[in-house]
Structure 1
Amino acid sequence: MISRSLLLLRRITRQLWFRVVAISLFSLLALAIAPLLAPILPPAWEDRFGREAVLPVLTILASGMLAVTTFSLNVMVSAYRTASSMATPRVYRLLLEDTVTQSVLATFTGGFVYSLSAVILFRAGIYPPGSAFVVFVMTALVVMLIVLAILRWIDHLSDLGSMDHTLRLIESRSCSSLRARKKTPCLGGCCLTTEPPSSASPIPASQSGFVRFVDMAALNRRAKEAGVTLYLTRLPGEFVLRGRPVAMAEGADEAFCKEASGLIDVGDVRSFEQDPTFGLTLLAETAQRALSPGVNDPGTAYEVMGRLTRLLWENLPEDSEATKSDADFPHIHLPPVTASALLKASFPPIALYAGDAPEVMDWMQTSLKALEHHPNAAMTRAAQEMRQDYFENS
């Protein structure tokens, strides 16, 4: 279980600007090293690879990379908007974390910064005579990286923004979230099966929004130091209003409650880190969009239900009865994510839009029948109950 500081670091590194800035700084660092390497090179090399050999290449790179970067940004934005309109608007934030797109755009921007900075340094006369050969070798490496990035970008563009790419991306992140919860059904704490004690003090939410992340390690450490037992009443993914209880603390004072509230991240949008139902919701919303009268694409709904069935079959969190003896964070109690909750986030939203599409409902019934054979008894019961509600009692 990662801490809040590591989570913030991970979120920063997944943003496009981070890779762009990192590679641009690296290119500037390479140019700064060039004068230090110049004295150790033979003078004859400077005569063959002087400023006249490297400046034209740098000029071409500087002008070409600016155009390529601008064009690639336009393509990226257009593809992401298309994917958001075909699937669900909430997938846009997930598409922005695409590592291939980030690496390619960062390479193009880094090549532009490198070439433009090198031209400026040469024209300003800052580089000594022997630096031209070092810059020439570096430029050859930069050109090689740019060519590889272009080839990678061409291959990626054939799939970028398509429905297949979008669904694979959502399923991959959903699978990671479900597997993480499968390892720690209660986020490493003790499973709460009853109501918190009536004597427990409420921990108010710091703002209105969705619970996005609970720093279990920090909360458990502070609870241990203060001799407090915590009971989470709002799981990641649930909505809470500012000032309303997000957790309860037994034996806590007002100062502890205020500190604990700061360790529970509440924001405007949901996230995948501790919310296994978010990805299932995105898949269900994609099927809803496909079944809308303006789109009328039942094939996408079939594919979505297939992916949902696969996710629930292969990555369902196990039933857990974690106690203080085997919990990683024994001072925190919270309810586990149930099979019923995962199932309700998956199929009912699709059924809402599939009333006039009996073939879609038949596919849903087949999926629920398949899940009735799940090794987890809770999923078996939940699938049976849902199939009875939608098909046998209708």
Structure 2
Amino acid sequence: MISRTLLYVQRITRQLWFRVVLLSACSLLALAIAPWLTPFIPEDLGERFGRQAALPVLTILASGMLAVTTFSLNVMVSAYRTAAGTATPRVYRLLLEDTITQSVLATFVGGFVFSLSAVILFRAGFYSEDAAIVVFAITVGVVALIVGAILRWIDHLSGLGSMDHTLRLIEERSRISLCQRAEAPCLGACLAEESHDLGDGTVPIPAQASGFVRFVDVAQLQTLAKEADTKIVITRTPGKFVLRGRPVAYAVNVDNDVCKAASDAIEIGDVRSFDQDPSFGLTLLAETAQRALSPGVNDPGTALEVMGRLERLLWENTPSDRDSPRADASFDRIFLPPVTASQLLNCAFPPIAQSGADDPSVMGWMDNALAALGQHPNPEMATAAQEMRNQLQASDG
């Protein structure tokens, strides 16, 4: 199970500034080590590839990369706003983690930092003629990287902000969350039933803030439970909303210090996260279909495409009965309820049925999708899909 430290590292690496800082630092490092590489440079190259050859290229890069970066940022923001306006506002945070966009912009900024810093160092007399040859060689490599980034950016712009690109991002992230939860239905903890009772001496563990549960550090809770010789039952799983002071978990015969430490191991934020919440992506897809079915948009085709993606996600990423992990309890002192097939289906189809109840094509597709999921190898998914289908048919009747 992923630890909180590794989770924070992953979140940092998904940020745009991280790649920008990383490539900028690499650019400065390359300029710093250039004088140390001069012993490997042939003496007869100084006249052809020295200071006079490098400075004009660096000057062009310094001025050009600033303009390209500014333009690209404007395009990115406009495309993301368009996607958030046509799909769902909550997809904006997912779009900001687009690795292609981050890599391209980081390359542009890194090229700008490299060229501007090199010009400054040249004017300050930092480089000898031999070092200037090394800088010129590095500049050629930077130019090649920039050209490759431009070509990649042009190809990426053809779909950036489009509905297809947005839905594909949501589906890919949802598939990762579903697969991870399928491998560890209880996040490595023991299965907790709805009526799970710890017995006498049960103490509530209050939430430290109001918001959505984003991450449960099961490993940290296991360590606390071992030290206190207790058991902990998580009642508010990732994706659930909780008010400050309300219970997020329960433990047996623990003091306030243990309760405080256990509460700190449960991250609560203003917005939901994909990390341990497989239903979040399904909710985003359903919201996109709802907006497409609104009177102002009236685009049932997008709703049909969304239901196709939902059907594919639930069919391919719900383990069959024989493959379903039944004993993933790596942490025997922590109890946590799993995400059920009924919960996943309720996030996916009922919101679309509410908005598309008057559209025969939408309801027909939904009926066929639920009928197909009713044949899923996993009995829980099959039963939940058939029950939902019967409920929708009864409401239509």
TM class by shorter-chain length?
Answer: over 0.9
Look up the match of 1:239. 241
Unaligned runs of 5+ in 2: none
Structure 2 residue corresponding to 1:328, chosen from 327, 330, 342: 330
Structure 2 Cα separation of the partners of residues 231 and 119 of structure 1: 61
Letter in 2 for 1:185: P
Retained in 2: the 8 A contact 1:229–1:251? Answer: no
Look up the match of 2:369. 367
Letter in 1 for 2:20: V
Structure 2 Cα separation of the partners of residues 333 and 317 of structure 1: 21
Structure 1 Cα separation of the partners of residues 197 and 135 of structure 2: 67
Structure-2 change in CA distance of 1:322 and 1:329 (3 Å):
farther
Task: Figure out how many residues of one structure are paired with residues of the other and give that number.
Answer: 392
Look up the match of 1:154. 154
Structure 2 residue corresponding to 1:269, chosen from 255, 268, 271: 271
Look up the match of 1:34. 34
Look up the match of 1:197. 198
Structure 2 Cα separation of the partners of residues 299 and 322 of structure 1: 39
Structure 2 Cα separation of the partners of residues 318 and 242 of structure 1: 38
Look up the match of 2:353. 351
Structure 2 residue corresponding to 1:304, chosen from 303, 306, 310: 306
| Matched residue SS, 1:213 | strand
Structure 2 Cα separation of the partners of residues 48 and 187 of structure 1: 62
Deviations 1:247-266 (A, max 9, x none): 00113221101100000000
Retained in 1: the 8 A contact 2:274–2:280? Answer: yes
Asked if residue 169 in structure 1 is aligned to residue 169 in structure 2, the reply is: yes
Structure 1 residue corresponding to 2:295, chosen from 293, 296, 317: 293
Deviations 1:370-389 (A, max 9, x none): 11111111112211211111
Look up the match of 2:125. 125
Unaligned runs of 5+ in 1: none
Look up the match of 2:18. 18
- Superposed displacement of residue 356, structure 1: 2.1
Structure 2 residue corresponding to 1:221, chosen from 220, 223, 233: 223
Structure 2 residue corresponding to 1:381, chosen from 380, 383, 386: 383
| Matched residue SS, 1:266 | strand
Over the aligned positions, Cα root-mean-square deviation in angstroms equals: 1.3
Retained in 1: the 8 A contact 2:320–2:376? Answer: no
Retained in 2: the 8 A contact 1:62–1:113? Answer: yes
- Superposed displacement of residue 282, structure 1: 0.2
Letter in 2 for 1:363: W
After TM superposition, the score normalised by the length of structure 1 is 0.97
- Superposed displacement of residue 39, structure 1: 4.0
- Superposed displacement of residue 392, structure 1: 3.0
Name whichever of 45-54 and 142-151 sits farther off: 45-54
Structure 2 Cα separation of the partners of residues 321 and 47 of structure 1: 68
Structure 1 Cα separation of the partners of residues 40 and 268 of structure 2: 57
Structure-2 change in CA distance of 1:40 and 1:312 (3 Å):
closer
- Superposed displacement of residue 327, structure 1: 1.3
After TM superposition, the score normalised by the length of structure 2 is 0.96
